[in-house]
């Protein structure tokens, strides 16, 4: 059914979204979308609104409807919720749950103490969420640290998978656009352009676990072709001295997830039963210094705009808590980002889903 006609019951009509929400600031931009921090005028609840220009979606309407219908059904404590969908003449607005605890790497670097057990607890939450998706027949396809945000600033905050499925909506599921976005997390079978399954997510979780324990990616080369070769052959090592203090159980866990053959790779269910997750083999030794040093060197903030700027949310929440917000109750963004989007969609600014902002700008060797 074409967008703009009477659609499914979960979609609401809105002539002007700003009659319902007060736009605060832009949190990020994608190929043909913009994420805006907004406040619902009646409840004063803060949300993240993903504005999608319809002009950029011509020919993709049916698949978009299907994707959003699936997203609307997803309810899991570790997955950012899609609360509402509004439609106007020129845009779709996805009203997303706002998470305010900041990015995974930032939190690790800020900590004074960080252990294998901390990493194990993070990975367990991710596995639980992805198993939920897999049980629903959904493959995420774009798991990476940049998509992992803390729910709140609390020290014991849960981790959340953010922007779930929206990458698929934006057409970045193809091999080409995945490769130009974040090649370091892509499973070998995806790069090989073979049919793939839920196992691709399990590979990505293995890569995330690897990084959480050493602070640098398992595959690194300035040359993309050589990087792809490493991934295709599943060539990675537990380099000394960075892995000297990491348990053999942790390494075994990673090897089962970063298994080249997807049929032999651990499923989420198997990974959740591994002793490093379900048992007590994750060590309590403080590895903060070495891991945080590597994160700072290998995952410096990209000069490109992040697809979702979690830091902007944290900054805004702190302003609210301090009572120093400069914005009055009736103020709105002078020019709506969504207005700019529509202009961009009509002048061909859609980059085809290839957004290099979605990951580290390069993959380097571990830094001394």
- Mark the binding-site residues for ATP, compressed into ranges: 55
CA angle 298, 303, 305 (to 5 degrees): 115
Judging by beta carbons within 10 Å of its beta carbon (0-12, 13-18, 19+), is residue 163 exposed, middle or buried? Answer: buried
Place of tokens 């790779």: 265
- Tell me how crowded residue 52 is: count the other CB atoms within 10 A of its CB: 26
Q: Which two tokens stand for residue 282?
A: 């994750």
Active-site residue identified among 142, 163, 201, 355? 142
- Of the candidates 16, 314, 264, 356, which has an alpha carbon nearest to the alpha carbon of residue 151? 314
Give the separation between CA 108 and CA 149, rounded to whole angstroms. 12
Residues at the binding site are: 55
Helix (H, G, I), strand (E, B) or coil at 245: coil
**Is residue 142 among the annotated active site residues?**
yes
Measured in degrees and rounded to the nearest 5, phi and psi for residue 7 equal -110, -165
Give the separation between CA 367 and CA 71, rounded to whole angstroms. 40
Q: Cβ distance 128 to 173 under 8 Å?
A: no
Place of tokens 């990673």: 254
Give the separation between CA 363 and CA 162, rounded to whole angstroms. 23
What does the DSSP assignment read for 37-94?
Answer: EEEETTT--EEEEEEEEGGGGTT-HHHHHHHHHHHHH---TTB--EEEEEE-SSEEEE
State the alpha helices, DSSP H only, in 171-309.
Answer: 175-181, 188-191, 199-214, 224-232, 248-257, 268-272, 275-278, 288-298
Give the separation between CA 189 and CA 262, rounded to whole angstroms. 8
Give the separation between CA 178 and CA 166, rounded to whole angstroms. 13
Place of tokens 């993240």: 48
Residues belonging to the active site: 142
């Amino acid at each position: 059914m074409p967008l703009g006609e009477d659609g499914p019951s979960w979609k609401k009509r809105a002539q002007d979204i700003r009659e319902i929400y007060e736009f605060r600031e832009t949190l990020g931009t994608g190929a043909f979308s913009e994420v805006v921090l907004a406040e619902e005028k009646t409840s004063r609840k803060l949300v993240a609104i993903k504005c999608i220009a319809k002009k950029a979606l011509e020919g993709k309407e049916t698949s978009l409807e299907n994707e959003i219908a699936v997203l609307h059904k997803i309810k899991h404590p570790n997955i950012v919720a899609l609360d509402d969908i509004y439609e106007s003449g020129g845009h779709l607005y996805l009203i997303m749950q706002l998470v305010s605890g900041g990015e995974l790497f930032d939190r690790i670097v800020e900590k004074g103490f960080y252990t294998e057990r901390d990493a194990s607890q993070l990975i367990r939450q991710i596995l639980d969420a992805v198993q939920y998706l897999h049980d629903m027949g959904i493959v995420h396809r774009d798991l990476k640290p940049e998509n992992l945000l803390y729910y709140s600033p609390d020290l014991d905050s849960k981790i959340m998978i953010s922007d779930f499925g929206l990458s698929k909506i934006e057409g970045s599921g193809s091999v080409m656009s995945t490769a130009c976005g974040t090649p370091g997390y892509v499973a070998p079978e995806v790069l090989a352009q073979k049919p793939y399954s839920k196992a691709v997510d399990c590979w990505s979780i293995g890569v995330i676990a690897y990084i959480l324990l050493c602070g640098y990616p398992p595959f690194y080369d300035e040359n993309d072709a050589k990087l792809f070769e490493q991934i295709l052959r599943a060539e990675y090592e537990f380099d000394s001295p960075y892995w000297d203090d990491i348990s053999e159980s942790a390494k075994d866990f990673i090897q089962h997830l970063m298994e080249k053959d997807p049929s032999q790779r651990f499923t989420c269910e198997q990974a959740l039963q591994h002793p490093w997750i379900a048992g007590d083999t994750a060590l309590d030794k403080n590895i903060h210094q070495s891991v945080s040093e590597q994160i700072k060197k290998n995952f410096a903030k990209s000069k490109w705009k992040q697809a979702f700027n979690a830091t902007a949310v944290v900054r805004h929440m702190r302003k609210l808590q301090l009572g120093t917000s400069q914005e009055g109750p009736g103020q709105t963004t002078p020019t709506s980002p969504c207005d700019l989007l529509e202009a961009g969609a009509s002048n061909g600014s859609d980059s085809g889903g290839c957004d290099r902002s979605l990951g580290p700008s390069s993959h380097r060797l571990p830094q001394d």
